[in-house]
Amino acid sequence: MKIGFVGLGIMGRPMALNLKNGGHDLLVPERASLTAEIRAAATVLADATAVAAGSDVVILMVPDTGDVERALFGAGGVAAGLKNGSLVIDMSSISPVATKEFAKKINALGCDYVDAPVSGGEVGAKAASLTIMVGGPDAAFARAKPLFDLMGKNITHIGAENGTGQTCKVANQIIVALNIQAAAEALVFAARAGADPAKVREALMGGFASSRVLEVHAERMIKGTFNPGFRIRLHQKDLNLALTAARELGLSLPNTAIAQQMFTSVAAHGGADLDHSALVKAIEILGDFSLQDKT
């Protein structure tokens, strides 16, 4: 198929290349930030309208709700170039409510729409092992599934209603944030009490506390290496979606709110673009103690 791809950042770039390596033709809009690798792999067109006009499927992978809206309906956007029967796949992590509205507008143009946010970070994007959470009609999901198979391993059709994929991703981000906070608190506690945090992590990896967060993010905390796989400011955005929806539903999410405050503390100290494992810095600040003192 001819696949248009809009949003070639940390996640989008390897996802697009995996589609190309799977035998599909790749079309992308011109951006100064396009890498030489993408330029060699794709046909570069003037804008997203031209990309949509030349594609069977258009995939979006951009940071926030407003970015998706502009990519779809702004000047030079995807919607203006769509053909009847085209498929739009939004793999960004955005508002479930806004997703429903975007889907209605795209459907009105005679096109299918699925929301398919992902989890797995840069590592999963490069390894084509992403978890993909999909909302949308059965037929649209069936069209998209072969493409998802080239980008991910755990692919779940959450529901036939648009927005259900995004709802699942919000739930995912709650769990990830609270696991990061738990790992940060545990390691700072252990180190402050005199234990080697690396040895503590090694021991915990063999028990019931084991998790991907403990495996990947806790190691970053111990080493103090926070090059972004997933930036704090993006996780703040996702938790804001959770807390906004919770208010609308009359729900209390107290630990989610605390995790958001920890991220906000790190961002206030200049860490908004660090990896979300840098949440540990907020715990360190509160305790006036750094893991680096013990490593």
CA–CA–CA angle 12, 16, 17 (5° rounding)? 120
Contact yes or no for 148/12 (Cβ under 8 A) = no
Contact yes or no for 227/266 (Cβ under 8 A) = no
Phi, psi of 158, rounded to the nearest 5 degrees: -70, -40
What are the structure tokens assigned to 87, written together? Answer: 């498929």
> Of 20, 100, 153, 169, which one is the catalytic site residue?
169
Contact yes or no for 280/221 (Cβ under 8 A) = yes
Contact yes or no for 108/115 (Cβ under 8 A) = no
Task: Give the CB-side neighbour count of residue 269, counting CA atoms within 13 A.
Answer: 15
Q: Which of 155, 166, 92 is nearest to 128 (CA)?
A: 155
Contact yes or no for 122/12 (Cβ under 8 A) = no
Angstrom CA distances, 133 to 78, 86, 130, 192, 223, stand at 22, 21, 10, 39, 32
Contact yes or no for 5/61 (Cβ under 8 A) = yes
The verdict on whether 237 is a catalytic residue reads no
Phi, psi of 250, rounded to the nearest 5 degrees: 75, 30
Instruction: Return all residues near 146 (Cβ < 8 A) that are at least 6 apart.
Output: none
CA–CA–CA angle 81, 85, 89 (5° rounding)? 75
Helices (H), 89-155: 96-107, 121-127, 138-151
Residues annotated as catalytic are: 169
